[in-house]
A and B are shown apart, each in its own frame.
Chain A
């Protein structure tokens, strides 16, 4: 028997709701994506490579990827620590609620506003910038380091929000069982907690990395935006557009987009691999 497209349901409204949703998605998501892809294919492979290998473009790619990677690594380390702190350490409830809520601040604040705030803090006259200049003779704002700071800021929620729930879902019973079997706390961490949260740490890292790669608003304030020095890819697209250089803008955008998709694909494959492995070892529960 041929499998049907949709299983029977007594609930009405399928064609209506799916129809309107698909139409909306087509107009708003699919059509613009098609425009970009077709524009990119018009350039041709040679033209595409030529655009991407342009020194200014290549520098901005290196800068964007390098800063994003560094920011994502820092976020992974500190995000996991923060998640551990929020989930496992007893602190007054009010403080916990406040800190837990503020984690989402980078998602709730307009990127331009956060960019301005960070820049003000990290310039040589700012609270942190002055301290860093006086003690370490370090410049942050208007250097690649500033870009990293902005990317850390916008990536914070991703690691904390993926690791936190997993950390809190580890049952006390599991750890008590391990304790009763004679494991010490270090062994419990290495053998029980670390393997459990590892997939979520990787997912959090990838999400923070992907977000940092595409970030625009927060970064452009603190970066200084000097070509060949502190110009990120998202800004270069903007600049090329202002010069009506659609070919170059499209080539950069398409490269970034492909990379984001590959990252997303990796997370999805990784997650399905993890859940399959978990099913295999734990059986059905």
Chain B
């Protein structure tokens, strides 16, 4: 009982959008497909929804289980989009502009074949439930053009949920919303997921969003999967330099050791703590201090004029007396020594 994606590739002309994607994940999770633009994440989502078709490998055509997008053990790859029991939320919502909110949400039920179609009253009941769920009970007669971005987003979601999909696919669901609405919608989606327990896959290029909202993060780059793991795993134990760089700012030392800014400490004297002596200190000059924000950002230049970024708490900043142009020493904090071994690459 899980999601299986097996041997999926996609080429557009000469561009390889997806290069043999394979993964298997348990259901009822919220999964984030994270990657820069052009990494193939949206293409993968569209292939799962049936809006795009994967390259067909002629040599394996005899075995129809070789290439799959399966859910609950059923390979849906050869089914048309409407039969896949998938709810797809489009990046720009793709609401039907000539239909009211009510009709938009009811659409999936109204187009069912006569035998399977619920009665008018049942449809009405179902749509009203969904309107309650998305907290837009009073807007059922409004048209999409009169709704705000966040409201459109919720209508698009309700429309996809109306057909009771087994899996919900969301393409950059917060991409076209402004910053404040984005964070609100993120929390709302997470709560909705916890309440409905529906399997969801969302595509995003925003690492903060992926780490905050998802149970599992799939990080993609250039058509390949770089890493699959929980937000904690991918952030603290990145499997590749790409993942390390993509999930946050990094400092690179000796062209191979990568350390995140918050893992570095600043000392006014070369020998602050005897425990740390195994780690060589780097002498550097402070060039810029930014104190506006949740933590303090300090930029320094070492003797080779290479930029070093250090993040620390306001508390720590206040307890010391760092000034621009001061000469200081940068060290790796001792309590993070162990996990750092994971983030060094050749």
Residue positions of A touching B, CB distance < 8 A? 1, 3, 8, 10
Check A1 against B11 for contact (C-beta < 8 Å): yes
Contact of B336 with A by CB under 8 A: no
Contact of B108 with A by CB under 8 A: no
Stretch at the interface among B20-28, B45-53, B260-268, B308-316: B45-53
Number of B interface residues at 8 Å Cβ cutoff, please give it. 9
Check B52 against A8 for contact (C-beta < 8 Å): yes
Residues of B close to A1: CB separation below 8 A = 11, 14
Check B13 against A3 for contact (C-beta < 8 Å): yes
Residues of B close to A8: CB separation below 8 A = 52-53
Check B81 against A10 for contact (C-beta < 8 Å): yes
Residues of A close to B14: CB separation below 8 A = 1
CA distance A3 to B51 in the complex (A): 19
CA distance A3 to B14 in the complex (A): 9
Check A10 against B11 for contact (C-beta < 8 Å): no
Chief secondary structure at chain A's binding surface: loop
CA distance A1 to B52 in the complex (A): 18
CA distance A8 to B13 in the complex (A): 12
Since A3-B13, A10-B50, A10-B80 are in contact, a sample of 7 more A-B pairs with Cβ atoms closer than 8 Å, ordered by chain A residue number, is: A1-B11, A1-B14, A8-B52, A8-B53, A10-B51, A10-B52, A10-B81
Chief secondary structure at chain B's binding surface: loop
Residues of A close to B52: CB separation below 8 A = 8, 10
Distance between B127 CB and nearest chain A CB, rounded to angstroms: 25
Residues of A close to B50: CB separation below 8 A = 10
Residues of A close to B80: CB separation below 8 A = 10
CA distance A6 to B81 in the complex (A): 19
CA distance A10 to B52 in the complex (A): 7
Distance between A222 CB and nearest chain B CB, rounded to angstroms: 48
Question: 5 nearest interchain CB pairs?
Answer: A8-B53, A10-B51, A10-B81, A10-B50, A1-B11
CA distance A10 to B11 in the complex (A): 17
CA distance A8 to B81 in the complex (A): 13
10 contacts between A and B (CB under 8 A): A1-B11, A1-B14, A3-B13, A8-B52, A8-B53, A10-B50, A10-B51, A10-B52, A10-B80, A10-B81
Residues of A close to B81: CB separation below 8 A = 10
Using an 8 Å CB-CB cutoff, how does the interface string of B46-83 with A read, 1 for contact, 0 for none?
00001111000000000000000000000000001100
Distance between B179 CB and nearest chain A CB, rounded to angstroms: 24
In this complex, what residue of B is CB-closest to A1? B11
Residues of B close to A10: CB separation below 8 A = 50-52, 80-81
CA distance A102 to B50 in the complex (A): 49
Using an 8 Å CB-CB cutoff, how does the interface string of B4-19 with A read, 1 for contact, 0 for none?
0000000101100000
CA distance A10 to B13 in the complex (A): 19
Residues of A close to B13: CB separation below 8 A = 3
CA distance A1 to B51 in the complex (A): 22
In this complex, what residue of A is CB-closest to B50? A10
